[in-house]
Amino acid sequence: MFNRTLSYSSYVLSYQVEKQQYNVSVLTRIISVNGTDLFMTMVNIGPRDSKAQPVADIVFFTNKTNLAEHYRLLGKVLNEVRKGDETSWVWNKAKNELSYLSRVVEREMGEYNVEGYAAATTMDIDACGACKVLFEVACAVGCGVGMATLCILAGLTTGVGGIACAAIAAAVCWAIGEYGCDSGAGYVCTQIGYC
């Protein structure tokens, strides 16, 4: 997209893993604005462990890195997070998947391994957390984009499962029609039974 003062292009890299113990999705938006590249990454890990507590972290990188290094550094950050966490195995799995993705980008996706500034969000999420994230995304972009698109934009394609995410998104969109966005995610998600 471009106009007289601004031009940008964007790409989305989506990486998903479904295993017996966990699901991981990594969604990166690569945005190039007037020659400067930005990476916005969302990592969602959905452990299949009833003891896991939902958590979220936001990571900002102050120096430029290439995309492969971005994933390596994010893995290192998650490795540090896991040291003080009861469910450290969850973050270790996410770190391992990011390490693998880093190697794939470096070896096979050189044209996307550009240098840029980055931010990342990591989540270990349950249905209540997914509902709140979907509420925020739906209020920002609208429900007209479709349930699957809302799940992709929210980075929730594997954390709570694609079909489960679409069901939550449909309920959220119905509730937004009933209660509106001003009522807040906590209220809406409680009303529809996800929190």
What's the whole-model pTM score?
0.60
Torsion of CA 174, 177, 179, 185, to 10 degrees: 60
pLDDT tens figures, 63-97: 788 999 989 988 888 777 767 666 667 777 888 88
Tokens of 35: 């020659």
Predicted confidence band of residue 10 (pLDDT cuts 50, 70, 90) = confident
Could you tell me which residue, 61 or 15, shows the higher pLDDT? 15
Short-list 55, 40, 20, 48, CA closest to 160: 48
The bridge status of strand 22-33 relative to strand 8-18 is: antiparallel
pLDDT at 100: 94
Predicted confidence band of residue 151 (pLDDT cuts 50, 70, 90) = confident
For the segment 163-171, the average pLDDT, to the nearest whole number, is 75
Beta sheet of 55-66, edge-to-edge order:
8-18, 22-33, 36-47, 115-124, 55-66
pLDDT at 192: 85
Kindly report the backbone phi and psi dihedral angles of residue 87, in degrees, each rounded to the nearest multiple of 5, phi listed first: -105, 55
For the segment 127-136, the average pLDDT, to the nearest whole number, is 80
Which of 33-47, 99-113, 132-146 is predicted most confidently?
Answer: 99-113
The bridge status of strand 115-124 relative to strand 36-47 is: parallel
> Could you tell me which residues are beta bridge partners of residue 120?
41, 59
Could you tell me which residue, 146 or 68, shows the higher pLDDT? 68
Predicted confidence band of residue 158 (pLDDT cuts 50, 70, 90) = very low
